[in-house]
């Protein structure tokens, strides 16, 4: 099954089954575990469904167990605090009676304050780059049929890498990458849905960054990778259907873990969101 932007919107439109309790469904992609970005996005939607007139400015999440794609995910929201300026929510994701993920999110009333930001890197525009789909199609014939089917499927977020890595024959590269991203059409103007879509997209490619200096790929079958924790900060409003540059770097890998950072910039150079993630990165000889 493909994952179009319509599929993603349906995926994020979780069902409320009781006060503070929601149910999210999984796409039929026949993969071994639930995509981490999906759980982040659905958990943020669950938190937003209990908040009024405030905007998320940060979230911090831990992946505890692999998600089972064959069963729905329950999201239980704890309304931790409703203050004058800030609102805090904790969300626990449950499958088979066990916690698989938890998220803490903070929401704020809009206000003005000091402003500064890091500059956006100078990179080629997305129109000058091949799409991620084109790059994947070029190597799909070299993969086993089931992997090729998953690898080549339609995705809800269009990606155009500035400095792509060859997944079949990876070479050692610097621990950074830049990728232009956007949804193929508008998801609406509400800040909440645009944030939830970007939270979903923020888990795409980020963990790969820490493997670039080592010249290894998950296609070898020897690499075990999984997100351990994920944090995100939203700085300014944005539209997910407009090109955003996702800059990523990995300052460190050690102890079977890789640490990665990311930043999203609009085409005119506004820094709209920042990301940090640590993931499991084991190589089995």
CA distance 31 to 70: 10
Cβ–Cβ under 8 Å, residues 275 and 231: yes
Query: How large is the average pLDDT for residues 144-172?
Result: 79
Tell me, what's the pLDDT at 2?
42
> Would you please indicate which residues are annotated as catalytic (active-site) residues?
203, 227, 277
> Tokens at residue 245, please?
């540059």
Determine how many CB atoms are found less than 10 A away from the CB of residue 256: 11
| In the block, residue with structure tokens 């990301």 | 275
Q: Is the pLDDT higher at 216 or at 120?
A: 120
Q: Is the pLDDT higher at 154 or at 114?
A: 114
CA distance 248 to 232: 13
Q: pLDDT tens digits, residue range 1-31?
A: 346 899 999 999 999 999 999 999 998 765 6
Among 29-33, 41-45, 102-106, 162-166, name the one with the lowest average pLDDT.
29-33
> Tokens at residue 235, please?
């700085």
Determine how many CB atoms are found less than 10 A away from the CB of residue 46: 28
Contacts of 92 (CB under 8 A, 6+ apart): 75, 76, 78, 99, 101, 102
Contacts of 284 (CB under 8 A, 6+ apart): 222, 223, 224
Decide if pLDDT at 150 tops 50. yes
Determine how many CB atoms are found less than 10 A away from the CB of residue 82: 14
Q: pLDDT tens digits, residue range 205-260?
A: 999 999 999 988 776 677 899 999 999 999 999 999 999 999 999 999 999 999 99
Among 46-50, 153-157, 276-280, name the one with the lowest average pLDDT.
153-157
Tell me, what's the pLDDT at 189?
95
Q: Which residues pair with 60 in a beta bridge?
A: 104, 231
Q: pLDDT tens digits, residue range 58-74?
A: 999 999 999 999 999 99
Tell me, what's the pLDDT at 31?
62
pTM beyond 0.75: yes
**CA neighbor of 195 nearest in space, from 155, 236, 230, 243:** 236
Query: How large is the average pLDDT for residues 124-149?
Result: 79
Q: Taking all residues of the chain, what is their mean pLDDT, rounded to a whole number?
A: 92
Angle at 242 between CA 191 and CA 259, to 5 degrees: 80
What percentage of the chain reaches a pLDDT higher than 70? Answer: 92
Tell me, what's the pLDDT at 166?
78
Question: What domains appear along the chain, each with residue ranges and CATH number?
Answer: 5-110+128-283 (2.40.160.210)
Query: How large is the average pLDDT for residues 262-282?
Result: 97
Query: How large is the average pLDDT for residues 142-158?
Result: 71
**Where do the DSSP E strands lie in the chain?**
15-18, 21-24, 55-63, 73-82, 86-95, 98-108, 158-161, 176-182, 223-234, 244-254, 257-266, 271-283
Contacts of 13 (CB under 8 A, 6+ apart): 45
């Amino acid at each position: 099954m493909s994952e179009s932007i319509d599929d993603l919107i349906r995926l994020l439109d979780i069902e409320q089954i009781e006060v503070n309790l929601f149910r999210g469904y999984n796409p039929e992609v026949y993969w071994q575990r639930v995509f981490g970005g999906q759980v982040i996005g659905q958990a943020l939607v669950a938190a937003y469904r209990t908040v009024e007139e405030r905007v998320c400015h940060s979230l911090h999440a831990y992946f505890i167990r692999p998600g089972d794609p064959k069963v729905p995910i329950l999201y239980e929201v704890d309304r931790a605090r409703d203050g004058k300026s800030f609102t805090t929510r904790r969300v626990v994701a449950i499958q088979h009676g066990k916690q698989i993920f938890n998220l803490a999110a903070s929401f704020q009333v809009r206000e003005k304050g000091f402003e500064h930001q890091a500059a956006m890197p100078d990179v080629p525009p997305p129109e000058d780059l091949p799409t991620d789909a084109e790059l994947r199609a070029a190597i799909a014939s070299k993969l086993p049929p089931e992997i090729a089917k998953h690898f080549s499927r339609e995705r809800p977020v269009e990606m155009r890498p500035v400095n792509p890595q060859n997944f079949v024959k990876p070479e050692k590269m610097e621990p950074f990458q830049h990728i232009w991203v956007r949804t193929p059409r508008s998801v609406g103007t509400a800040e909440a849905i645009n944030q939830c879509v970007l939270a979903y997209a923020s888990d795409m490619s980020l963990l790969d960054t820490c493997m670039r200096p080592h010249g290894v790929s998950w296609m070898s079958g020897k690499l075990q990778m999984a997100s351990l924790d994920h944090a995100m900060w939203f700085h300014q409003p944005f539209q997910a259907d407009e090109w955003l540059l996702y800059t990523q770097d990995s300052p460190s890998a050690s102890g079977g873990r890789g640490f990665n950072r990311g930043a999203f910039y609009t085409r005119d150079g506004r820094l709209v969101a920042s990301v940090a993630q640590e993931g499991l990165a084991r190589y089995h000889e």
